[in-house]
Structure 1
Amino acid sequence: MKRRDVLKTFFSLVVKGALLSTAGYMYAKYIEPRRLTVHHYDVVHPLIPKSFDGCRLLQFSDVHIGYHYTVRHFQQVVERMNDLKPHLICFTGDLLDEPNKYAHVDAITSLLSQLHAPLGKFCIYGNHDHGGYGTDIYKRMMNTSGFRLLVNEWVYVKQGSEQIVIAGLDDFMLGKPNFAKTVQHMPKETYTIALIHEPDLVTQASVYPFHLQLSGHSHGGQIQLPWIGPVVTPPLAKRYVEGFYDVGQLTLYVNRGLGTTRMPFRFLTPPELTLFTLKAGL
């Protein structure tokens, strides 16, 4: 090849690479973070009572409001959640990115109050809910908006004369989690859903009488590459990143969350709501 042809080919590749990088940057920052996906799954188990057959449980997680996620964005998601008509709502932590620096706490509390779930709304702490001196801020917000904040405890959810159990642990990074306290006096032959922010704790959780663990924290890695997978995941979300896993007798589901943190990007990990339909198994 002539020198002119070599230079022409080189500069062509540089321009194409720059255009591709720019397009990827724009997509990851402005498009995919708003591409909300709703996943529908059936959860079948012999301990699910017949009166709960068809019960819809909605999980959302890791909103990180305040870090490139606004009141308007969350309002749209709240409307979408209500459109799904869940019977139960479970939030698995990290509501505000920096609670003590966020100026619109009342607006978010009002939106949370608008979520409807006839069998109850439940939540746990994530590491960001404790961080930024947010422990009391988050607690006040969730209690005011009608959520039951579970901190190393369990509650019955009743439907007629039958019930299931929802248990919630404190955050493992900045809280004071206690498995033994959480399961104290918990019935063993009742279908039990555990809310645990960090998914890698499933190994410990699997020795207790939980049947379904709902977690978040990982954001699905936020950025995944083809054939490689997640580029970076946070502590306690290294092994279990997104979707379903079976660990012993326990089924884990890891939700990718709604917002972003540290980097305002998502690539091959669109934000997620998950709607589980409980099915009474034989």
Structure 2
Amino acid sequence: MTQKQTRRTFLKRSFSITVGSLLATSLGYYYARYIEPKQLSIVHQNISHQLIPNNFEGLKIVQFSDLHIGYNYNLQQLQSAVNKINEEKPDIVLFTGDLIDSPMTFKDADKIPAILKSIKAPLGKFSIYGNHDHGGYGSNLYLEIMNKAEFTLLVNESTIISLPDGSQICLVGVDDLLLGHPDYDKALKNVPQELFTILLAHEPDAAQVTSKYPIHLQLSGHSHGGQVQLPFFGPLITPPLATTYVEGFYEVEESNLSVYVNRGIGTTRLPFRFLSKPEITVFHLNA
């Protein structure tokens, strides 16, 4: 082991101890447990690409992800998040998975569709499966909720978003990589290569596969931004398939693919967020 690696390991452990100690204090615990998880931020991002048609200029796409309802995230908070989404007046709304933390134990699933249905998006509302949506035999429940909420669930399939003048972009969704059955070839079977194409994949490290296909932008969640981050070093722990791409924008080397990783809204496993605020992302398309 080199001296540089030894020093880096030492520093990271030191920061871990420092942050752990901070969270262990009453003030640090209170902030990470009760304040930051409720600091829902609206993040604005610009998307520019030569294949985006001129008439899509200024179109708004809102992405939200990883609600984990039932695990320290309740229906009142969901309604508040929906209100924030509607305040942005989106044209398209995308949910990238993990609706209920434990689908088979949550008792108020029947109340979710009415809240999600109130989201307004004239060009459509779309969703994909996350690992928690499949977990605990929740696949059918999630499908039922999304249908009632008037979301189109994309499972290894694509759809074309068209404007009255005939200009188009393409939206693709693949099944969850951890607990589903993703099939890129099936999903992209009917996608015209001349269209700007957005792919929804719950786990961000799917980009290693996505980059092999004619896809221009991948939108993901799953990572929660690590939930707890260290200054200068980033997240302490990230879930499987969220280790390479953790939060924000990335350009995948030797490809035309960009990846955006949303930090999600809820929490799972531990009810803490530290230097990883929950987010709703608003993408502004630029021709």
Question: TM-score, structure 1 length as denominator?
Answer: 0.92
Equivalent residues in 2 for 1:148-187, closer than 5 Å: 148-160=152-164, 161-187=166-192
Counterpart of 2:87 (choices 83, 91, 96) is: 83
Asked whether the 8 Å contact 2:60–2:283 carries over to 1, the reply is yes
Equivalent residues in 2 for 1:36-185, closer than 5 Å: 36-160=40-164, 161-185=166-190
- For structure 2, list consecutive stretches of 5 or more residues without a partner in the other structure: 1-20
Asked whether the 8 Å contact 2:22–2:29 carries over to 1, the reply is no
Tell me the C-alpha RMSD between the 2 structures. 1.2
Deviations 1:41-87 (A, max 9, x none): 11011111111111000000000000000001111111011001000
In structure 2, do the counterparts of structure 1 residues 273 and 19 end up closer, same or farther at CA, with 3 Å as the change threshold? Answer: closer
Counterpart of 1:238 (choices 243, 251, 267) is: 243
What CA distance in whole angstroms lies between the structure 2 residues aligned with 1:41 and 1:230?
A: 22
* 1:253 maps onto 2:257 in alignment: no
Which residue identity does 1:200 align to in structure 2? D
In structure 2, do the counterparts of structure 1 residues 155 and 18 end up closer, same or farther at CA, with 3 Å as the change threshold? Answer: closer
Counterpart of 2:206 (choices 198, 201, 205) is: 201
Which residue identity does 2:150 align to in structure 1? G
Question: TM-score, structure 2 length as denominator?
Answer: 0.90
Which residue identity does 2:70 align to in structure 1? G
- For structure 1, list consecutive stretches of 5 or more residues without a partner in the other structure: 1-16
In structure 2, do the counterparts of structure 1 residues 206 and 260 end up closer, same or farther at CA, with 3 Å as the change threshold? Answer: same
What CA distance in whole angstroms lies between the structure 2 residues aligned with 1:121 and 1:52?
A: 17
Aligned to 1:99, what secondary structure does the other structure show?
Answer: coil
What CA distance in whole angstroms lies between the structure 1 residues aligned with 2:217 and 2:233?
A: 28
Q: Structure 1 residue 186: deviation in Å?
A: 1.2
* 1:267 maps onto 2:274 in alignment: yes
Q: Structure 1 residue 19: deviation in Å?
A: 9.7
Aligned to 2:137, what secondary structure does the other structure show?
Answer: coil
Show the counterpart of 2:234.
229
Q: Structure 1 residue 185: deviation in Å?
A: 2.5
Aligned to 2:218, what secondary structure does the other structure show?
Answer: strand
* 1:191 maps onto 2:196 in alignment: yes
What CA distance in whole angstroms lies between the structure 1 residues aligned with 2:101 and 2:132?
A: 6
Aligned to 2:232, what secondary structure does the other structure show?
Answer: coil
What CA distance in whole angstroms lies between the structure 2 residues aligned with 1:211 and 1:228?
A: 29
Q: Structure 1 residue 263: deviation in Å?
A: 0.3
What CA distance in whole angstroms lies between the structure 2 residues aligned with 1:217 and 1:204?
A: 17
What CA distance in whole angstroms lies between the structure 1 residues aligned with 2:44 and 2:36?
A: 20
Aligned to 1:154, what secondary structure does the other structure show?
Answer: strand
Which residue identity does 1:270 align to in structure 2? K
Show the counterpart of 2:9.
none
Where do 4+ consecutive residues of structure 1 move more than 2 Å?
17-20
Residue range with higher mean Cα deviation, 264-273 or 177-186: 177-186
